[in-house]
């Protein structure tokens, strides 16, 4: 038992240097929550209202010879509070989670995390930088990325959230 505790502490200590500085975590049995704040790069509040696309990946336990395992993604949206704070539940059956932070006029920020034993709660502050070429970035990156959640039914995104994305995209396109 003593060896197990020392081994667990060693793993937690070594894994501490594997993450970006903006990520803080608390030890635990398994990751269940991701808390954070959506801010500008300089720490100020965003000038436009942002949202978070949450992609959770579920293992299908199918692996072809000499290939990586298949994962089924599920997507949903999370809307931060007025001060930018968000809290995301990490489903215990999911093996990985990807967060994509989107706001009008800002470069998309992505964060991907695989579930690990020994990390119970994550804190990630997403700092978006203003895009000088927002129109081009919207047309080439942000728009096509978000279109996938409307067109592809494999993400199983709720209809109300697909409708929100469609309206948000229409609003951005009407500006140009």
Answer yes or no: is pLDDT of 18 > 60: no
Output the six-digit token pair for 2: 């003593």
What would the pLDDT profile of 39-68 be if each residue is shown by its tens digit?
Answer: 888 877 778 889 999 999 987 666 666 766
Q: Which of 77, 84, 71 is nearest to 166 (CA)?
A: 77
Domain limits, the chain: 25-174
On the question of pLDDT at 83 being above 90, the answer is no
Q: What is the CATH number of domain 25-174?
A: 2.60.40.1120
Q: What secondary structure does DSSP assign to 65-102, as a single string?
A: TTSPPPEEEEEEEE---TTSEEEEE--TT-SEEEEEEE
The answer to whether the predicted template modeling score (pTM) of the entire model surpasses 0.85 is no
């Amino acid at each position: 038992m003593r060896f197990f505790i020392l081994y667990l502490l060693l793993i937690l200590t070594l894994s501490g240097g594997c993450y970006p500085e903006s990520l803080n975590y608390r030890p635990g049995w398994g990751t269940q929550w991701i808390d954070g704040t959506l801010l500008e790069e300089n720490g100020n509040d965003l000038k436009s209202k942002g949202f978070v696309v949450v992609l959770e990946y579920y293992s299908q336990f199918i692996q072809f010879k000499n290939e990586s395992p298949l994962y089924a993604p599920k997507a949903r949206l999370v809307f931060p509070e007025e001060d930018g704070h968000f809290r995301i539940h990490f489903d215990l059956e999911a093996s990985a989670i990807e967060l994509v932070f989107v706001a009008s006029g800002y470069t998309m920020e992505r964060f991907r995390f695989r579930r690990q034993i020994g990390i119970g709660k994550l804190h990630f502050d997403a700092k978006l930088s203003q895009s000088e070429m927002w129109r081009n970035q919207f047309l080439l990156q942000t728009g096509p990325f978000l279109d996938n959640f409307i067109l592809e039914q494999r993400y199983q995104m709720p209809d109300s959230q697909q409708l929100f994305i469609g309206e948000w995209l229409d609003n951005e396109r009407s500006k140009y």
